[in-house]
Structure 1
Amino acid sequence: MTRKSRLLTLGGVVVVAALIGALLLMWKPAIAPVSPPAASSFDSQTRLAGARVVALGDCIVCHTAKGGKPFAGGLPLATPFGTIYATNITPDVETGIGNWSLEAFTRAVRHGVARDGHLLYPAFPYIHFTRMSDRDMSAAYAYLMTREPVSATAPANELIFPLNFRPLLAFWNALFLRPGEQQEDASKDAGWNRGKLLVDGLGHCASCHSPLNMIGGEKSGHAFDGGIVDGWEAPALNALGAAPKPWTQEQLVAYLRSGRASEHGAAVGPMLPVTRDLATAPEKDVQAIATYILSIQKPQTAIANVSADASVQGATSPEAQRGALLFAASCAQCHGAAAPMQSIGERPTLAFSTAVNAATPRNSAQMILSGNGWYGEDSMNYMPAFSEVYSDQQIADLASYIRAAYSQRGPWTDVGDTVAKVRKENDAR
């Protein structure tokens, strides 16, 4: 055999071995279906613990479509690669998880593999849920299997090629999935360890509050540096000390449980339903979350000497001057210095607003365009949407005025382009 033929043979063996390895990596066996377990097979304490786990994991937020039944799926999740529709996790046998065993459920939550062996897209944050304890896993299973079964099939996902080829997710998992329960840090107290487990695991906070790389994984070394979710900027959780009023433990707990902090602002967009879930969780868990988040702050310099009586100055550009007229017409009655809302219910001044002080105008544009919906009696943070009232240029002028008038940071650039982009994104959803 010549040297060339030996090299060709060796190359062929390597290729075949690589293909076999890839197939083994991509193939996952099915787990046999089971008869739906009777609700009476789960004791009340386990179901109660499961309600706590599911609330902390925000499961209902992603697995409930607008106007749909709880946990029945169908919610569209926008990603840079297309739209993924949340699945039905009610105990319906045909369209949900009614014939899933605890083993199948655990594999899905920890490894992203469905009962029949197909790989789940990482819009489902199993790379974080993998840190859950066996106790929490069993409790969540008990709670979900005792919900009302709903027959509902999610629409087909709309993803670009080749990302619509599920077996390729095996290579994504090899890069980003690190299975295993969270290990406690013996040098920290119980509250800190509980908070880390909830933030890194069940709460999967980094999934939204971290930038993503070109293949949809969280950028290494940039956890909690901020991200974009459903058209909203999820602010950096490690920069809360840079706010005009640095966050305190009390304020962060209040925000997470009520959706409002008196010196920061109101929850809106994807964060609002998260706070509704956390309102049902034990306060000590939310205290633990706040403890851990405040412990990961990077060295920051907050804006000095910002007060609730920050004067309206600096609005001298043509855009800001036009925006001042719009503000007087549509905003001052709620956000102006003399507005009753500024003194009733401790409504935060715009001088402290996270959106107004952000590095980009995206959230201010999104807030003006989309508002904050009306939720009946629980509508203390209501704001009407102005997408049908004002043009892109008018909204850009209004945002420019608010930035100039209420923030001590420099003016934004490309405000008009940002408004047009955000409106286009919203219209496409």
Structure 2
Amino acid sequence: MKRNTIIGAVLAIGVVGIGFAFWMMWRPEIATVSEPRHAGRETLESGRRIVEAGDCAVCHTRPGGAYMAGGLLLVTPFGTLFTTNITPDPETGIGQWSLDAFERAMREGIARDGHFLYPAFPYVHYRKMSGADIADAYAFLMSVDPVKYTAPENHMVFPMNFRPLVSFWNLLFLHGDPLEPLPNRSAQWNRGRYLVEGTGHCSSCHSPLNLIGGEKSSELFNGGVVDGWTAPALRAMTEAQQPWNETQLVAYLKGEVAEGHGAAAGPMLPVSLSIAQLPAQDTHAIAQYILDLKKTSSDATSPPCTSGAKPSARTLPGASLFEGACASCHGSAAPMRVIESRPALASTSAVMADSPRNLIQTILQGIPMSASASSHYMPDFAHSLDDAHVAALAEYLRNESCATRPWTDLDKTIKSIRAQEQQP
């Protein structure tokens, strides 16, 4: 009798568990629409700004590809993904999606047909957006040129290649409602919070991730790593060794050279080109909110910067490399410093950072030419400088700066970055 009771209890628990798992992993399909409603000019302009703020084109437009047609390769710890086509093509895009289907995808990470989207799509942040903003973004995307294009197949490792398991990831990390303004803060600060935490999903890159790809809630905005680049911490930027102010951060966000810090490069460059399309008040709101982010208890305090290079810097091997490869644009007497605002490298954020990764990436990759009038070009040196040259140049620039700690892992970091660039 006792044995039968135990077996019955185990079976009951099993049935409940299976039922719960099925409930977690199944979502219904939402009916198609034959033709989305046409929106007015004001709605489309609002939607365009929201889509720019959300950096949609950064991920959904592959190099050389059509606008919003997808196909960009994303490399994750769990395999490789290709971004989807979000043009209104009815067969390969979202042309048959209703607003309800689009909003469910934005808030819950569920496609129109009911399959789970991978959280590389930042729906955990988009769910904080208002219903009106999501509707305007939908209207704009439905107005772009439809493109018939299907992205290559994803290659995710087991068990993440089984999409329904994302439901359990969502159980851990998908929470919260649309952001409401805090009554004790200014309208501009609240606008910045909405753009940074919601539409702009800044913490997706600027926070460390745990083993299953979720943001560490206790370390939000404490910095992360994206595509081999360091996404710097956004907390306490006004208290850094080389402090930021609102004017500098606004310039940086718009893809311009920020005096004393440099210009956006790597994964941040296309983001800055999107932000440059936003109204000025939005850019200032983003900067104001970021500059108000306080340190967490685990943040180390950096000593203030003191002017002047270390006496030994000019005797380092990298000094002659700097004169030959860099001084014509970045030297103290270089005309380009005045004509095109080329920064003094020793004070830039890449040189002042705890990790040499961003400086090395910039030396190797440069900053490509873009269509933005405010952007800046820098040639790449990946083929003209070997590892020893890059290490010597980085060591020299670090010694020229007011950073107190030398970089000790230059050779290893350079080899790691070069190896990553050679991967398909």
TM-score by length of 2: 0.95
* Secondary structure at the counterpart of residue 221 of structure 1: helix
Q: Is the 8 A contact 1:356 1:406 kept in 2?
A: yes
In structure 1, what is the equivalent of residue 280 of structure 2? 283
CA offset digits 1:82-139 (Å, max 9, x no partner): 2211100000001000000000000001110000000001110000000110110110
* Secondary structure at the counterpart of residue 77 of structure 1: strand
Aligned counterparts of 1:131 and 1:23: Cα–Cα separation in 2: 27
CA offset digits 1:276-312 (Å, max 9, x no partner): 11111111111111111111132875543544xx336
Aligned counterparts of 1:46 and 1:119: Cα–Cα separation in 2: 29
Select between 159-168 and 327-336 the one with higher mean Cα deviation: 327-336
* Secondary structure at the counterpart of residue 327 of structure 1: helix
Matched, 1:23 2:22: yes
Aligned counterparts of 1:377 and 1:292: Cα–Cα separation in 2: 25
Matched, 1:419 2:423: no
Q: 1:264 aligns with which of 248, 253, 261?
A: 261
CA offset digits 1:199-241 (Å, max 9, x no partner): 1000000001000000000012100000111111110000312
CA offset digits 1:238-261 (Å, max 9, x no partner): 031243431111211122123321
* Secondary structure at the counterpart of residue 95 of structure 2: coil
In structure 2, what is the equivalent of residue 54 of structure 1? 51
In structure 2, what is the equivalent of residue 146 of structure 1? 143
Q: Is the 8 A contact 2:309 2:399 kept in 1?
A: no
* Secondary structure at the counterpart of residue 401 of structure 1: helix
Matched, 1:334 2:329: yes
Aligned counterparts of 1:110 and 1:49: Cα–Cα separation in 2: 19
Aligned counterparts of 1:189 and 1:406: Cα–Cα separation in 2: 37
In structure 2, what is the equivalent of residue 304 of structure 1? 304
Q: Is the 8 A contact 2:329 2:342 kept in 1?
A: no
Select between 290-299 and 147-156 the one with higher mean Cα deviation: 290-299
Q: Is the 8 A contact 2:240 2:304 kept in 1?
A: no
Select between 256-265 and 213-222 the one with higher mean Cα deviation: 256-265
Post-superposition offset of 1:379: 7.0
Aligned counterparts of 2:221 and 2:265: Cα–Cα separation in 1: 19
* Secondary structure at the counterpart of residue 193 of structure 2: helix
Aligned counterparts of 1:343 and 1:353: Cα–Cα separation in 2: 17
Matched, 1:353 2:353: no
* Secondary structure at the counterpart of residue 150 of structure 2: coil
In structure 2, what is the equivalent of residue 381 of structure 1? 376
* Secondary structure at the counterpart of residue 217 of structure 2: coil
Post-superposition offset of 1:380: 4.8
In structure 2, what is the equivalent of residue 101 of structure 1? 98
| Runs of 4+ residues over 4 Å off in structure 1 | 299-303
Aligned counterparts of 2:20 and 2:414: Cα–Cα separation in 1: 48
Q: Is the 8 A contact 2:30 2:101 kept in 1?
A: yes
Post-superposition offset of 1:24: 0.8
Q: Is the 8 A contact 1:227 1:233 kept in 2?
A: yes
Aligned counterparts of 2:32 and 2:400: Cα–Cα separation in 1: 61
Post-superposition offset of 1:183: 1.9
Aligned counterparts of 2:230 and 2:239: Cα–Cα separation in 1: 16
* Secondary structure at the counterpart of residue 352 of structure 2: coil
Q: Is the 8 A contact 1:244 1:352 kept in 2?
A: no
Post-superposition offset of 1:376: 5.9
* Secondary structure at the counterpart of residue 83 of structure 1: strand
Select between 254-263 and 366-375 the one with higher mean Cα deviation: 254-263
Amino acid at match of 1:142: A
Matched, 1:397 2:396: no
Select between 272-281 and 144-153 the one with higher mean Cα deviation: 272-281
Q: Is the 8 A contact 2:230 2:357 kept in 1?
A: yes
Q: Is the 8 A contact 1:208 1:228 kept in 2?
A: yes
Post-superposition offset of 1:372: 0.5
* Secondary structure at the counterpart of residue 258 of structure 1: coil
Amino acid at match of 2:261: H
* Secondary structure at the counterpart of residue 265 of structure 1: coil
Select between 58-67 and 409-418 the one with higher mean Cα deviation: 409-418
* Secondary structure at the counterpart of residue 425 of structure 1: helix
Amino acid at match of 1:29: P
Q: Is the 8 A contact 1:206 1:224 kept in 2?
A: yes
In structure 1, what is the equivalent of residue 311 of structure 2? 313
Matched, 1:81 2:100: no
Residues 259 and 156 of structure 1: CA distance in aligned 2, closer, same or farther (over 3 Å): farther
TM-score by length of 1: 0.94
Q: Is the 8 A contact 1:90 1:96 kept in 2?
A: yes
